[in-house]
Amino acid sequence: AAGVIQSPRHLIKEKRETATLKCYPIPRHDTVYWYQQGPGQDPQFLISFYEKMQSDKGSIPDRFSAQQFSDYHSELNMSSLELGDSALYFCASSLGTGTAYGYTFGSGTRLTVV
Amino acid sequence: KNEVEQSPQNLTAQEGEFITINCSYSVGISALHWLQQHPGGGIVSLFMLSSGKKKHGRLIATINIQEKHSSLHITASHPRDSAVYICAVLTGNQFYFGTGTSLTVIP
């Protein structure tokens, strides 16, 4: 079965550069969630989208922006990268946002800022 | 075969009941997370475990590295505990997630 696809799997950027991470949800899933996990830290919720509209916002820095496109894939844009942005970024998709629906996670994009 | 298996998939309990959610995994891990998601909300990390047992309020999480098994217990369950609970393991650069346990606690 198709899973949540994230690209790229690994990314190395220099400070002050920009990065774009992509998340392709499971077909027919209309909700996408983004998370960030720094080294040795718990995952932190960044932002979510339902039907191409932002549905919830967590601890996403102002330097980051995200959107969900008409095909339901989502992109996380990160500007003015800092060393502290080095983390594992993963997304999840679901059909709807209620607890009645299961959801699937991508395996993440490892971002290293040097 | 999924790298992370959770059970049960759905669980309905009466308020006050003791709840256990189980997680088994097949890969070598550096850490195991128990996550919670309420309707429409982002995920909250409840515990990160690499060995032993952790307790936070009414929540207890245990892990047995040799048996590759973890459990999440909720004592004196309450309707506000209704959520999806997810077991996730981190190995190297990759996360493996269970499909979640949907818990409904009835008053």
DSSP string, B78-101: -GGG-EEEEEEEEETTEEEE---E
Higher-pLDDT residue of B2, B92: B2
Q: Are B38 and B46 spatial neighbours (Cβ–Cβ below 8 Å)?
A: no
Spatial distance between the Cα atoms of A37 and A84, rounded to a whole number of angstroms: 11
Among B100, B90, B3, residue whose Cα is nearest residue A88: B90
Contacts of A103 in chain B (CB under 8 A): 37, 84, 100
> What average pLDDT does range B27-37 have in this prediction?
84
Q: Mean pLDDT for chain A?
A: 87
Band of the pLDDT at A48, cuts 50, 70, 90? Answer: confident
> What average pLDDT does range B64-78 have in this prediction?
96
Geometric angle at alpha carbon A76, from A72 and A81, rounded to 5° = 175
Q: Are B42 and A10 a contacting pair at CB < 8 A?
A: no
Q: Are B41 and A56 a contacting pair at CB < 8 A?
A: yes
Tokens of B84: 């999806």
Contacts of A44 in chain B (CB under 8 A): 45
Chain A residue with minimum CA distance to B88:
A105
- Tally the C-alpha atoms within 13 A of residue B81's C-alpha that lie toward its C-beta: 28
pLDDT in tens, A18-29: 999 999 998 888
Geometric angle at alpha carbon A12, from A6 and A17, rounded to 5° = 105
> What average pLDDT does range B47-59 have in this prediction?
90
Please indicate if any CB of chain A lies within 8 Å of the CB of B100: yes
% chain B with pLDDT above 90: 57
> Is 80 exceeded by the pLDDT of residue B35?
yes
Q: Mean pLDDT for chain B?
A: 88
Q: Are strands B10-14 and A5-7 parallel, antiparallel or unpaired?
A: unpaired
Q: Are B43 and A108 a contacting pair at CB < 8 A?
A: no
